[in-house]
Amino acid sequence: MTKTRIAAVDVGNDALKANFGKMENELYIPNVVAQDFEDRPVIGIEELDKKEVLDNIHIRVHSPALEENNVIYRVGNLATKTTNSTELDPGSSKAEEDQTLIMLFASLALDAVENGAFTEKNKVIDANYTLGTGLPLREVKEGKDVGYRSQLLGSVHQVEFLVTPNHQGKKINIKFDEVKVYPEGFAAYVNLIMDNDLKVINKDLIDKQILIQDIGGLSTDIAVIRNRNVDDDKAQGFNLGVSESLEQIREEIRTKHGVELDSRRDVVDIITRKNDRHHIMVKGSRTSVHDITDHILLELAKKEYRFLRNVWAKNSQSEICYFVGGGSAVLKDYIKALNNKLDGFNIDFFEDEQESIWMMANAYYKLISEFVSKQTKSEKAEKEEVKAKAK
């Protein structure tokens, strides 16, 4: 039997978050890619292997699932340093973008070369994964999860590391034994009620009607949970996230202060970090950009609050709304202030921003672990039944 490894991957619009194996490996990679050449210049090439791998992901990706096949990419932090880097655009579909797959394959390849679970022979590793991932509710309702899953199953997807510390020249052949694509809203609910051992931790939430507003980079999903399931008819998805506002902040900072930020990730850091929040360095001087961030984020928070108000009006028996996702961490203070001044809904945020950001990856891990556990028990029962019949 082929050895398979659990992978729970959230390809977020801002960053990829992933858990592997028995949670012994996790990855966080900014969702930025840039097409590149095979021999990228490296200052001090002899020192390459002393550099951080996550800052130097340089790969060639070959997969029948890609529209542009066999292309070389810089991924994550390395991609932010180029002038041709791309981030997912508003209105794009996560299930239909090459960038989603490139990020997914890159994360699996990094895990495969570093976890020791797979055998390496002549710089080639054959890696089998059981994958839990997700798509926005809107895309699942449109049936895009079916096509996304079929693209991954039944094919070999190869990642070749080029100018990457410690892994140069290695090729990873990725195959999926199973792929589960979950609606993001339901995944958030699972994370609220279950711990990593799949034990129920919030019994009082199980039979309540609750809302979960997931604010991402490119979209907002509001899941209506009743009878322990997402109500497909009531769930709503909106083509609005924080990405456009982050780009607007980035552009205003460039225009007003002449400072070029590498990516949206830098803007998020300015808004959410613990120290010197809403400040940047301009010609060596600490400078406030609060006037820029404040008016842009307040406008976005008003739109997000309008979504909440409209959905709650149609689901008046809801008891609470949980705000999740990276966008919620960015907008938390603004939405709380609006709610206190206006409707006073029963809403809640995760005070630990990391918990909110990692919520989807953790939920996918719980769901795929439960699937594997049930599958293992079923296979064991079948074997015992065959043995019993043989006697």
Residue 1 has pLDDT above 60, yes or no: no
Which residues, other chains included, contact 116 with Cβ-Cβ below 8 Å and sequence gap of 6+?
A: none
Q: Measure the CA–CA gap between 128 and 131, rounded to whole angstroms.
A: 9
- pLDDT the model gives residue 161: 96
Q: Measure the CA–CA gap between 86 and 361, rounded to whole angstroms.
A: 23
Q: Tell me, what DSSP letter sits at residue 45?
A: G
**Of 161, 112, 135, nearest in space to 214 by CA:** 135
Torsion angle, CA of 68/70/71/75, rounded to 10 degrees? 100
Region of poorest pLDDT, from 158-172, 215-229, 298-312: 215-229
The region that residue 228 occupies, defined by phi over 0 for left and psi between -120 and 50 for alpha, beta otherwise, is: left
- pLDDT the model gives residue 45: 55
Residues of the chain above pLDDT 70, percent:
97
Q: Which tens digits make up the pLDDT trace of 148-178?
A: 999 999 899 999 999 999 999 999 999 999 9
Torsion angle, CA of 98/103/108/113, rounded to 10 degrees? 120
pTM of the model: 0.85
Q: Angle 359-390/184-193 helices, nearest 10 degrees?
A: 80
Residue 80 in tokens? 């932010």
Q: Which tens digits make up the pLDDT trace of 27-59?
A: 999 999 999 887 776 655 568 888 899 999 999
Q: Angle 243-257/264-272 helices, nearest 10 degrees?
A: 90
Average pLDDT score over the chain: 88
Residue 259: φ, ψ to 5° = -105, 125
Q: Which tens digits make up the pLDDT trace of 326-343?
A: 888 889 999 999 999 999
Do domains 5-182+361-380 and 207-357 share one topology? The answer is: yes
Higher confidence at residue 239 or residue 282?
282
Domain boundaries of the chain, sorted by first residue: 5-182+361-380, 207-357
Q: Which tens digits make up the pLDDT trace of 119-144?
A: 999 999 999 999 999 998 888 888 99
Q: Measure the CA–CA gap between 278 and 295, rounded to whole angstroms.
A: 12
Q: Are 164 and 58 in contact (CB under 8 A)?
A: yes
Which residues, other chains included, contact 108 with Cβ-Cβ below 8 Å and sequence gap of 6+?
A: 7, 9, 127, 129, 159, 172, 174
The helix or strand, by DSSP H or E, that contains position 326, with its residue range, turns out to be helix 326-341
Considering 84-93, 121-130, 319-328, the range whose residues carry the highest mean pLDDT is 121-130
Give me the architecture of the 5-182+361-380 domain, per CATH: 2-Layer Sandwich (3.30)
CA angle 251, 221, 371 (to 5 degrees): 120
Residue 324 has pLDDT above 90, yes or no: no
- pLDDT the model gives residue 239: 82
Q: Are 327 and 215 in contact (CB under 8 A)?
A: yes
Q: Measure the CA–CA gap between 93 and 111, rounded to whole angstroms.
A: 26
The helix or strand, by DSSP H or E, that contains position 228, with its residue range, turns out to be none
Q: Measure the CA–CA gap between 352 and 356, rounded to whole angstroms.
A: 7
Cβ neighbour number for residue 91 with a 10 Å cutoff: 10
For residue 319, the SS3 value is coil
Q: Which CATH number is 207-357 given?
A: 3.30.420.40
Which residues, other chains included, contact 61 with Cβ-Cβ below 8 Å and sequence gap of 6+?
A: 69, 70, 71, 73, 101, 102, 105, 106, 157, 158, 159, 160
Which residues, other chains included, contact 123 with Cβ-Cβ below 8 Å and sequence gap of 6+?
A: 169, 170, 171
